[in-house]
Structure 1
Amino acid sequence: MRSALITICAAAAAGLIAVPVPAAQAASPAWDDDKGTLSVTPSTIAPGGEVNLFTDACGDARRAKANSDAFVSAAHFGPAADTAGLVAEARVRRDAAPRSYDVWLTCEDGKGKATATLTVIHHNRPSPAAPVKAGGGGTATLAEQATESSGPGTRHAVTGLVLAAVAAVAVALRSSRRRGRIGG
Protein backbone atom coordinates (compact mmCIF):
# COMPACT_ATOMS: atom_id res chain seq x y z
CA MET A 1 0.00 0.00 0.00
CA ARG A 2 2.74 2.44 0.96
CA SER A 3 4.89 1.58 -2.03
CA ALA A 4 1.86 2.29 -4.24
CA LEU A 5 1.57 5.75 -2.67
CA ILE A 6 5.27 6.45 -3.34
CA THR A 7 4.83 5.27 -6.92
CA ILE A 8 1.86 7.58 -7.42
CA CYS A 9 3.77 10.56 -5.97
CA ALA A 10 6.79 9.82 -8.17
CA ALA A 11 4.57 9.50 -11.26
CA ALA A 12 2.89 12.83 -10.47
CA ALA A 13 6.28 14.52 -10.08
CA ALA A 14 7.50 13.03 -13.37
CA GLY A 15 4.33 14.25 -15.07
CA LEU A 16 4.88 17.80 -13.83
CA ILE A 17 8.48 17.78 -14.99
CA ALA A 18 7.50 16.53 -18.45
CA VAL A 19 5.06 19.42 -19.08
CA PRO A 20 6.13 20.97 -22.41
CA VAL A 21 7.54 24.49 -22.64
CA PRO A 22 4.95 27.00 -23.84
CA ALA A 23 5.27 28.11 -27.45
CA ALA A 24 6.32 31.60 -26.31
CA GLN A 25 9.53 30.14 -24.87
CA ALA A 26 10.38 28.00 -27.90
CA ALA A 27 13.94 28.15 -29.20
CA SER A 28 13.11 29.16 -32.73
CA PRO A 29 10.34 31.74 -32.68
CA ALA A 30 8.02 32.07 -35.67
CA TRP A 31 5.50 34.82 -36.26
CA ASP A 32 2.20 34.29 -38.02
CA ASP A 33 0.77 36.72 -40.50
CA ASP A 34 -2.66 36.38 -42.06
CA LYS A 35 -1.14 34.59 -45.08
CA GLY A 36 1.60 32.31 -43.65
CA THR A 37 4.56 31.78 -41.36
CA LEU A 38 8.09 33.17 -41.52
CA SER A 39 10.77 32.09 -39.04
CA VAL A 40 14.17 33.70 -38.47
CA THR A 41 16.93 31.65 -36.79
CA PRO A 42 18.61 32.90 -34.67
CA SER A 43 16.15 35.62 -33.78
CA THR A 44 18.82 37.60 -31.90
CA ILE A 45 22.15 38.28 -33.62
CA ALA A 46 25.13 40.62 -33.71
CA PRO A 47 25.87 42.90 -36.67
CA GLY A 48 27.62 41.05 -39.50
CA GLY A 49 26.02 37.72 -38.56
CA GLU A 50 24.01 35.43 -40.81
CA VAL A 51 20.43 34.28 -40.23
CA ASN A 52 18.45 31.41 -41.73
CA LEU A 53 14.92 32.09 -42.95
CA PHE A 54 12.13 29.53 -43.48
CA THR A 55 8.60 30.02 -44.76
CA ASP A 56 5.58 27.95 -45.66
CA ALA A 57 3.55 30.97 -46.74
CA CYS A 58 4.07 30.59 -50.50
CA GLY A 59 2.08 27.42 -51.22
CA ASP A 60 3.09 26.14 -54.66
CA ALA A 61 5.36 29.10 -55.44
CA ARG A 62 8.99 28.07 -55.73
CA ARG A 63 10.56 31.45 -55.02
CA ALA A 64 10.14 34.36 -52.62
CA LYS A 65 12.02 37.42 -51.41
CA ALA A 66 12.47 38.86 -47.91
CA ASN A 67 13.57 42.39 -47.07
CA SER A 68 14.61 44.08 -43.85
CA ASP A 69 16.40 47.26 -42.88
CA ALA A 70 18.83 45.00 -41.01
CA PHE A 71 19.87 42.96 -44.10
CA VAL A 72 22.77 43.79 -46.40
CA SER A 73 20.53 42.88 -49.37
CA ALA A 74 17.25 41.11 -50.06
CA ALA A 75 17.14 37.39 -49.19
CA HIS A 76 16.07 35.19 -52.11
CA PHE A 77 14.24 32.00 -51.15
CA GLY A 78 14.44 28.63 -52.87
CA PRO A 79 12.88 25.21 -52.24
CA ALA A 80 13.89 23.47 -49.01
CA ALA A 81 15.47 20.05 -49.48
CA ASP A 82 13.73 18.21 -46.65
CA THR A 83 10.45 20.09 -46.07
CA ALA A 84 7.60 21.59 -48.06
CA GLY A 85 8.73 25.18 -47.60
CA LEU A 86 11.24 27.71 -48.85
CA VAL A 87 14.59 28.62 -47.27
CA ALA A 88 17.06 31.50 -47.54
CA GLU A 89 20.05 33.02 -45.79
CA ALA A 90 20.62 36.70 -45.08
CA ARG A 91 23.55 38.66 -43.71
CA VAL A 92 22.95 41.42 -41.16
CA ARG A 93 24.60 44.77 -41.92
CA ARG A 94 27.76 45.46 -39.91
CA ASP A 95 26.47 48.97 -39.12
CA ALA A 96 23.00 47.81 -37.97
CA ALA A 97 21.90 49.63 -34.82
CA PRO A 98 20.98 47.53 -31.76
CA ARG A 99 17.17 47.24 -31.93
CA SER A 100 14.35 45.10 -33.35
CA TYR A 101 13.86 44.99 -37.13
CA ASP A 102 10.86 43.80 -39.14
CA VAL A 103 11.40 41.22 -41.89
CA TRP A 104 8.86 41.18 -44.76
CA LEU A 105 8.33 38.21 -47.07
CA THR A 106 6.66 38.36 -50.47
CA CYS A 107 6.08 35.25 -52.61
CA GLU A 108 6.80 35.37 -56.35
CA ASP A 109 3.13 34.95 -57.22
CA GLY A 110 2.23 37.87 -54.94
CA LYS A 111 -0.34 35.81 -53.02
CA GLY A 112 1.67 34.82 -49.95
CA LYS A 113 3.01 37.28 -47.39
CA ALA A 114 4.46 36.98 -43.90
CA THR A 115 6.40 39.02 -41.37
CA ALA A 116 8.88 38.30 -38.59
CA THR A 117 11.08 40.22 -36.17
CA LEU A 118 14.87 40.15 -35.87
CA THR A 119 16.72 41.67 -32.91
CA VAL A 120 20.25 43.04 -33.40
CA ILE A 121 22.47 43.34 -30.31
CA HIS A 122 25.98 44.70 -29.93
CA HIS A 123 28.84 43.02 -28.13
CA ASN A 124 30.33 44.87 -25.20
CA ARG A 125 33.72 43.32 -25.97
CA PRO A 126 35.61 43.70 -29.25
CA SER A 127 35.84 40.66 -31.51
CA PRO A 128 39.28 39.32 -32.38
CA ALA A 129 40.83 40.76 -35.55
CA ALA A 130 41.74 37.35 -36.98
CA PRO A 131 39.65 34.69 -35.27
CA VAL A 132 40.56 31.03 -35.54
CA LYS A 133 38.03 28.99 -37.57
CA ALA A 134 37.38 26.55 -34.74
CA GLY A 135 33.60 26.78 -34.62
CA GLY A 136 31.31 29.09 -32.73
CA GLY A 137 32.44 32.18 -34.63
CA GLY A 138 30.51 35.33 -33.81
CA THR A 139 27.86 33.41 -31.87
CA ALA A 140 30.32 32.42 -29.13
CA THR A 141 30.00 35.85 -27.52
CA LEU A 142 26.19 35.69 -27.81
CA ALA A 143 26.17 32.30 -26.08
CA GLU A 144 28.37 33.66 -23.31
CA GLN A 145 26.05 36.63 -22.79
CA ALA A 146 23.04 34.32 -22.66
CA THR A 147 24.62 32.14 -19.97
CA GLU A 148 25.72 35.15 -17.93
CA SER A 149 22.29 36.76 -17.92
CA SER A 150 20.16 33.65 -17.52
CA GLY A 151 19.94 31.40 -14.53
CA PRO A 152 17.48 28.94 -13.09
CA GLY A 153 13.97 30.14 -13.79
CA THR A 154 10.54 29.44 -12.40
CA ARG A 155 10.34 26.06 -14.11
CA HIS A 156 13.58 24.93 -12.43
CA ALA A 157 12.38 26.15 -9.02
CA VAL A 158 9.06 24.31 -9.34
CA THR A 159 10.83 21.14 -10.47
CA GLY A 160 13.16 21.31 -7.48
CA LEU A 161 10.30 21.85 -5.05
CA VAL A 162 8.34 18.92 -6.49
CA LEU A 163 11.34 16.61 -6.25
CA ALA A 164 12.02 17.76 -2.69
CA ALA A 165 8.37 17.09 -1.75
CA VAL A 166 8.52 13.59 -3.25
CA ALA A 167 11.73 12.90 -1.34
CA ALA A 168 10.21 14.19 1.92
CA VAL A 169 7.13 11.97 1.47
CA ALA A 170 9.33 8.95 0.77
CA VAL A 171 11.46 9.58 3.87
CA ALA A 172 8.37 10.11 6.05
CA LEU A 173 6.76 6.89 4.84
CA ARG A 174 9.98 4.96 5.29
CA SER A 175 10.40 6.34 8.84
CA SER A 176 6.83 5.49 9.86
CA ARG A 177 7.24 2.00 8.42
CA ARG A 178 10.44 1.52 10.41
CA ARG A 179 8.80 2.79 13.66
CA GLY A 180 5.93 0.34 13.17
CA ARG A 181 8.35 -2.60 12.97
CA ILE A 182 10.30 -1.56 16.09
CA GLY A 183 7.18 -1.02 18.24
CA GLY A 184 5.46 -4.23 17.08
Structure 2
Amino acid sequence: MRSGPIALRAAGAALALLLAPAAGTALAHDGVQATVTPSTTAPDTDVDIRVQGCGGTTGAAKSQAFTADSELTGRDGGYPLSGAARIRPGLEDGTYRVSVTCDGHDHHDVGTVHVKHHQQPTHRPVPVAPVRAGGGGTAAFAAPAAPGVAQTASADGLGTPYTLLGLGMAAVAAVAVAFRSSRRRRAQ
Protein backbone atom coordinates (compact mmCIF):
# COMPACT_ATOMS: atom_id res chain seq x y z
CA MET A 1 0.00 0.00 0.00
CA ARG A 2 2.83 2.35 0.63
CA SER A 3 4.37 1.88 -2.81
CA GLY A 4 1.76 4.13 -4.49
CA PRO A 5 2.61 7.36 -2.57
CA ILE A 6 6.34 6.64 -2.78
CA ALA A 7 6.13 6.14 -6.54
CA LEU A 8 4.12 9.35 -6.87
CA ARG A 9 6.74 11.29 -4.90
CA ALA A 10 9.57 9.81 -6.97
CA ALA A 11 7.79 10.77 -10.21
CA GLY A 12 7.27 14.33 -8.90
CA ALA A 13 10.96 14.64 -7.97
CA ALA A 14 12.05 13.34 -11.38
CA LEU A 15 9.73 15.80 -13.11
CA ALA A 16 11.13 18.68 -11.02
CA LEU A 17 14.71 17.68 -11.92
CA LEU A 18 13.76 17.43 -15.57
CA LEU A 19 12.13 20.89 -15.65
CA ALA A 20 14.74 22.65 -13.47
CA PRO A 21 17.14 23.54 -16.33
CA ALA A 22 14.27 24.99 -18.38
CA ALA A 23 13.05 27.04 -15.42
CA GLY A 24 16.59 28.32 -14.82
CA THR A 25 16.86 29.42 -18.44
CA ALA A 26 13.58 31.32 -18.22
CA LEU A 27 14.61 33.03 -15.01
CA ALA A 28 18.04 34.01 -16.37
CA HIS A 29 16.40 36.68 -18.55
CA ASP A 30 13.84 37.90 -16.04
CA GLY A 31 16.22 40.42 -14.41
CA VAL A 32 15.60 42.97 -17.19
CA GLN A 33 13.80 46.09 -16.02
CA ALA A 34 12.87 49.22 -18.01
CA THR A 35 12.34 52.63 -16.41
CA VAL A 36 10.67 55.44 -18.36
CA THR A 37 11.30 59.04 -17.24
CA PRO A 38 9.01 60.85 -16.68
CA SER A 39 6.82 57.89 -15.78
CA THR A 40 3.67 59.94 -16.41
CA THR A 41 3.68 62.06 -19.53
CA ALA A 42 1.44 63.64 -22.14
CA PRO A 43 1.06 62.62 -25.78
CA ASP A 44 3.56 64.10 -28.27
CA THR A 45 6.36 64.44 -25.68
CA ASP A 46 9.79 62.85 -25.35
CA VAL A 47 10.73 60.34 -22.65
CA ASP A 48 14.03 58.77 -21.59
CA ILE A 49 14.32 55.00 -21.25
CA ARG A 50 16.82 53.22 -19.00
CA VAL A 51 17.11 49.43 -19.06
CA GLN A 52 18.96 47.37 -16.48
CA GLY A 53 19.75 43.68 -16.66
CA CYS A 54 20.95 43.40 -20.26
CA GLY A 55 24.48 42.08 -20.75
CA GLY A 56 25.19 43.62 -24.15
CA THR A 57 25.75 47.16 -25.36
CA THR A 58 22.70 47.52 -27.60
CA GLY A 59 19.01 46.77 -27.55
CA ALA A 60 15.59 48.15 -28.39
CA ALA A 61 12.56 49.25 -26.37
CA LYS A 62 9.07 48.88 -27.81
CA SER A 63 5.65 50.07 -26.71
CA GLN A 64 2.32 50.92 -28.27
CA ALA A 65 2.80 54.36 -26.72
CA PHE A 66 5.99 55.07 -28.71
CA THR A 67 5.98 56.50 -32.24
CA ALA A 68 8.81 54.08 -33.11
CA ASP A 69 11.06 51.53 -31.44
CA SER A 70 13.75 53.15 -29.33
CA GLU A 71 17.38 52.23 -29.90
CA LEU A 72 19.16 51.47 -26.64
CA THR A 73 22.90 51.79 -26.20
CA GLY A 74 25.30 51.48 -23.30
CA ARG A 75 28.76 50.48 -22.19
CA ASP A 76 29.96 46.93 -21.83
CA GLY A 77 30.27 45.50 -18.36
CA GLY A 78 26.79 45.44 -16.86
CA TYR A 79 26.00 49.12 -17.29
CA PRO A 80 22.39 50.08 -18.06
CA LEU A 81 21.27 50.73 -21.61
CA SER A 82 19.60 54.03 -22.40
CA GLY A 83 17.62 55.64 -25.17
CA ALA A 84 14.78 58.03 -25.90
CA ALA A 85 11.33 57.75 -27.43
CA ARG A 86 8.49 60.02 -28.44
CA ILE A 87 4.97 59.39 -27.17
CA ARG A 88 2.39 59.12 -29.96
CA PRO A 89 0.30 62.26 -30.48
CA GLY A 90 -3.42 61.77 -29.89
CA LEU A 91 -2.84 58.75 -27.64
CA GLU A 92 -5.59 57.87 -25.15
CA ASP A 93 -4.95 58.21 -21.41
CA GLY A 94 -3.76 54.95 -19.88
CA THR A 95 -0.86 52.74 -18.86
CA TYR A 96 1.18 51.24 -21.67
CA ARG A 97 3.62 48.33 -21.32
CA VAL A 98 7.23 48.52 -22.44
CA SER A 99 9.06 45.48 -23.85
CA VAL A 100 12.80 45.22 -24.46
CA THR A 101 14.91 43.20 -26.87
CA CYS A 102 18.51 42.67 -25.79
CA ASP A 103 21.03 39.83 -25.59
CA GLY A 104 19.14 38.18 -28.45
CA HIS A 105 16.00 37.75 -26.31
CA ASP A 106 12.66 39.47 -26.02
CA HIS A 107 11.70 40.63 -22.52
CA HIS A 108 7.98 41.38 -22.48
CA ASP A 109 6.29 43.82 -20.10
CA VAL A 110 9.44 44.86 -18.19
CA GLY A 111 8.28 48.47 -17.72
CA THR A 112 5.36 50.85 -18.09
CA VAL A 113 4.63 54.41 -19.14
CA HIS A 114 1.53 56.31 -18.03
CA VAL A 115 0.00 58.66 -20.60
CA LYS A 116 -2.25 61.43 -19.34
CA HIS A 117 -3.43 64.55 -21.10
CA HIS A 118 -2.36 67.50 -19.00
CA GLN A 119 -5.24 69.71 -17.98
CA GLN A 120 -4.61 73.43 -18.30
CA PRO A 121 -5.57 75.18 -15.07
CA THR A 122 -8.52 77.50 -15.53
CA HIS A 123 -7.30 79.85 -12.80
CA ARG A 124 -3.70 80.90 -12.37
CA PRO A 125 -2.84 82.42 -9.00
CA VAL A 126 -1.53 85.97 -9.28
CA PRO A 127 0.69 87.43 -6.55
CA VAL A 128 -0.87 90.33 -4.69
CA ALA A 129 2.23 91.89 -3.17
CA PRO A 130 5.96 91.49 -3.57
CA VAL A 131 7.73 89.14 -1.20
CA ARG A 132 10.03 90.86 1.27
CA ALA A 133 12.93 88.46 0.89
CA GLY A 134 16.42 89.24 -0.35
CA GLY A 135 17.29 91.83 -2.93
CA GLY A 136 18.08 94.42 -0.29
CA GLY A 137 14.52 95.69 -0.17
CA THR A 138 14.20 96.15 -3.93
CA ALA A 139 10.95 94.16 -3.97
CA ALA A 140 9.08 97.32 -2.99
CA PHE A 141 10.19 98.95 -6.25
CA ALA A 142 9.32 95.99 -8.49
CA ALA A 143 5.55 96.17 -8.08
CA PRO A 144 2.92 98.78 -7.33
CA ALA A 145 1.94 99.23 -3.71
CA ALA A 146 -0.43 96.62 -2.34
CA PRO A 147 -2.54 96.78 0.79
CA GLY A 148 -0.29 96.42 3.83
CA VAL A 149 2.96 97.11 1.94
CA ALA A 150 4.65 100.46 2.49
CA GLN A 151 5.72 102.18 -0.69
CA THR A 152 8.93 104.16 -0.20
CA ALA A 153 9.52 105.38 -3.72
CA SER A 154 7.64 107.74 -5.95
CA ALA A 155 7.65 107.93 -9.72
CA ASP A 156 10.48 110.49 -9.48
CA GLY A 157 12.78 108.31 -7.32
CA LEU A 158 13.42 107.63 -3.66
CA GLY A 159 12.74 111.11 -2.39
CA THR A 160 14.63 113.68 -0.30
CA PRO A 161 15.13 111.67 2.94
CA TYR A 162 16.87 108.81 1.17
CA THR A 163 18.91 111.13 -1.02
CA LEU A 164 20.23 112.96 2.04
CA LEU A 165 20.95 109.67 3.81
CA GLY A 166 22.92 108.40 0.81
CA LEU A 167 24.93 111.64 0.54
CA GLY A 168 25.71 111.51 4.27
CA MET A 169 26.94 107.91 4.04
CA ALA A 170 29.12 108.80 1.05
CA ALA A 171 30.63 111.72 2.97
CA VAL A 172 31.42 109.50 5.97
CA ALA A 173 33.09 106.96 3.67
CA ALA A 174 35.18 109.69 1.98
CA VAL A 175 36.35 111.04 5.37
CA ALA A 176 37.27 107.50 6.52
CA VAL A 177 39.35 106.88 3.39
CA ALA A 178 41.12 110.22 3.70
CA PHE A 179 41.85 109.64 7.41
CA ARG A 180 43.26 106.17 6.74
CA SER A 181 45.41 107.42 3.88
CA SER A 182 46.89 110.19 6.06
CA ARG A 183 47.70 107.70 8.84
CA ARG A 184 49.57 105.47 6.38
CA ARG A 185 51.67 108.40 5.16
CA ARG A 186 52.67 109.30 8.72
CA ALA A 187 53.60 105.68 9.53
CA GLN A 188 56.03 105.48 6.58
With the shorter chain as reference, the TM-score category is 0.3 to 0.5
From the CA coordinates, give the structure whose radius of gyration is larger: 2
